[in-house]
Amino acid sequence: MLAKTFGSALVGIHASIITIETHVGQGSKCYLVGLPDSTIKESIQRVESAIKQIGYFFPRRKVVINLAPADIRKEGSGYDLPIALGLLQASEQTKMNGLSDYLIMGELSLTGEIRPIKGALSMAIEAKKQGIKSLILPCENAVEAALIDGLDIYGMANLRDTIRFLHGRKQAPVKAPNILEVSLKYEDDFSQIKGQEKAKRAIEIAVAGGHNLILVGPPGSGKTMMAKRIPSIMPPMNLREIIETTQIHSIVGKLSTENPLITERPFRALHHSISAPALIGGRTNPQPGEISLAHQGVLFLDELPEFQRHVLELLRQPLEERKVPISRAHGTVEFPANFLLISAMNPCPCGYFHHPEKPCTCKPFQIERYLHRISGPLLDRIDMHLEVFPLSYSEMFQSTESESSPPIRERVKKARDIQTQRFNRSFIRTNAEMNSDQVKSICLLDTNSEALLQTAIEKLQLSARAHDRILKMARTIADLANSSTIQAKHVAEAITYRNLDRENWSG
């Protein structure tokens, strides 16, 4: 007899529907075909043990299991459950009505328990596109899949319960929680930062407009402390952003039973020993890297010059295109990588160049060599450069309360709302994403502002890319001030965030 079930294969962050055909006939061998990897081939052993534990048997006849289409490589243990159900149906040990109406995925233990899989949200998105309206998934994956409207998601704990459900036992589909009403609370708050008003202002602008930022300062000046508090002032995620971010984390298995959905913006702090594949993604069947896990959130690189130069250079294309392509022999996949880059570094090897009190012990050539670990093209793609200085004793122990994160987040949200309305007919969301044509049409300057910008460009010897980035920052500063036009004071402030180019650092 022939039985048919549906599963799903992951290709990048997207899924494809896989038809699992099981035929039991004359003979004595079991064949698993359709380009399965070794993990799927091992599923026969898990399936045999699981069905025996609930009172069924593995047929001692010829069994052919075909995973179609055969030109897509299938990976992972998630095919255990549909293979087991198809095998029981094809061997006529039980009759399950409507088996082919469901997309079914789940890993089986030897006792028949159903274990979680990766990429359930991507599978649900593809199932809806293909007209499949019901899914049977492990309980741990049901909530994330339920984010997609118009689908009935049934979470199953074990093989026995799945069979009973397919025999007609009633079970309510899983409902997704109202994630847009979740109240986010952050332990790290900007009120814990004393002084550093210039740096906090720069961070507010960076978050409001999506501008990448580098903080340069000696040890103990608070660079890392401020960076860790950036998520607390970022605007809440909307449903589209939650789905995109959860989809990426689901593929790499970063979701847990306690946190089945990503509702907080990611903050990925990387060590300088990170490899290129870990940063951008890799493997035979490409998986997202850290820059994709930071999608819709923050990627923090501390001690920037300590990273391998060839690894840092890989950031150049994602910073421009907001995505990262990975090519393999069987094709190319693209992962989203729309993140806010926050980086920090010392101004020299000893860390005390430009320090107001402690002398620098580095030789000029050592400082120059240290700074040249970051290439000019990469530095040019970082919108904002800011020097941070340590606090004095009086500033450190001042009694005045610092502004907390909620009012800053509210200002950022209002600025983002202005940008959402501005770009409602395009695919971009923030000022930092504007292309050259949009900069020319949106970031218009009066005569005084234009003259001020021209003088700064000539004096600082900035590139055309830096010119556009200053205009984008000025537009964001104007949005924070709720100004419809860019004024000279907005341009002047934006220029101060580009005065740390290499010529000025070493000077």
SS3 letters across 27-83 = CCCEEEECCECHHHHCHHHHHHHHHHHCCCCCCCCEEEEEEECCCCCECCCCCHHHH
Cα–Cα dist 121/251, whole Å = 8
Which residue, 150, 166, 182, sits at the end of a domain? 166
Domain annotation covers residue 181: no
Contact of 31 with 59, CB cutoff 8 Å: no
Q: Are 466 and 350 in the same domain?
A: yes
* Higher per-residue confidence, 183 vs 117: 117
Domain annotation covers residue 413: yes
Q: Are 114 and 6 in the same domain?
A: yes
* Strand 62-68 to 30-33 pairing: parallel
What integer pLDDT is reported at residue 1 of this predicted model?
Answer: 83
What integer pLDDT is reported at residue 507 of this predicted model?
Answer: 44
Express as a percent the part of the chain with pLDDT over 70: 95
The pLDDT-based confidence of 201 (bands split at 50, 70, 90) is very high
Which of 241-250, 396-405, 433-442 is predicted least confidently? 396-405
* Higher per-residue confidence, 400 vs 337: 337
Which residue, 166, 199, 233, sits at the end of a domain? 166
What integer pLDDT is reported at residue 483 of this predicted model?
Answer: 93
* Strand 134-138 to 102-104 pairing: parallel
Q: Which residues contact 304 (CB under 8 A, 6 or more apart)?
A: 214, 312, 343, 344, 345, 374
Which of 18-22, 171-175, 206-210, 372-376 is predicted least confidently? 372-376
Domain annotation covers residue 175: no
Domain annotation covers residue 180: no
The pLDDT-based confidence of 506 (bands split at 50, 70, 90) is very low
The pLDDT-based confidence of 500 (bands split at 50, 70, 90) is low
Average pLDDT, the chain: 90
* Higher per-residue confidence, 177 vs 497: 497
Is the pLDDT reported for residue 118 higher than 70? Answer: yes
CATH code at position 94: 3.30.230.10
Nearest Cα neighbor of 125 from 101, 149, 100 is 149
Which residue in the block uniquely carries the two structure tokens 């000077």?
507
Is the pLDDT reported for residue 171 higher than 70? Answer: yes
Give, to the nearest 10 degrees, the angle between helix 405-422 and helix 197-209. 30
Cα–Cα dist 75/70, whole Å = 13
3-state DSSP assignment of residue 503: helix
Which of 113-117, 307-311, 458-462 is predicted least confidently? 458-462
Domain annotation covers residue 203: yes
The pLDDT-based confidence of 422 (bands split at 50, 70, 90) is very high
Give the pLDDT confidence of 8-25 residue by residue, as tens digits.
999 888 999 999 999 998
Q: Are 27 and 71 in the same domain?
A: yes
Domain annotation covers residue 179: no
3-state DSSP assignment of residue 11: strand
Q: Are 392 and 279 in the same domain?
A: yes
What integer pLDDT is reported at residue 179 of this predicted model?
Answer: 72
Q: Are 133 and 200 in the same domain?
A: no
* Separation in Å, CA 20 to CA 2, 8, 83, 189, 405: 10, 10, 7, 51, 52
Q: Are 160 and 201 in the same domain?
A: no
Contact of 335 with 248, CB cutoff 8 Å: yes
What integer pLDDT is reported at residue 183 of this predicted model?
Answer: 64
Q: Are 354 and 487 in the same domain?
A: yes
Total number of domains in the chain: 2
Give the pLDDT confidence of 447-493 residue by residue, as tens digits.
899 999 999 888 888 778 888 999 999 999 999 999 999 999 999 99
pTM for this one? 0.89
Is the pLDDT reported for residue 276 higher than 70? Answer: yes
Q: Are 216 and 145 in the same domain?
A: no
Domain annotation covers residue 217: yes
Amino acid at 440: K
Give the pLDDT confidence of 60-102 residue by residue, as tens digits.
899 999 999 998 888 889 999 999 999 999 999 999 989 999 9
Is the pLDDT reported for residue 399 higher than 70? Answer: no
Contact of 135 with 145, CB cutoff 8 Å: yes
Q: Are 150 and 275 in the same domain?
A: no
Q: Are 247 and 132 in the same domain?
A: no
Cα–Cα dist 296/265, whole Å = 6
Domain annotation covers residue 234: yes
Task: Return the structure tokens found at 70.
Answer: 């055969």
What integer pLDDT is reported at residue 396 of this predicted model?
Answer: 67
Which residue, 118, 150, 166, sits at the end of a domain? 166
Q: Are 271 and 361 in the same domain?
A: yes
Q: Are 157 and 222 in the same domain?
A: no
Task: Return the structure tokens found at 141.
Answer: 């994956």
What integer pLDDT is reported at residue 287 of this predicted model?
Answer: 87
Radius of gyration of the chain (CA): 28
3-state DSSP assignment of residue 365: helix
Residue 490 structural domain: 190-505
CATH code at position 427: 3.40.50.300
Give the pLDDT confidence of 22-68 residue by residue, as tens digits.
999 888 889 999 988 888 989 999 999 999 999 999 998 999 999 99
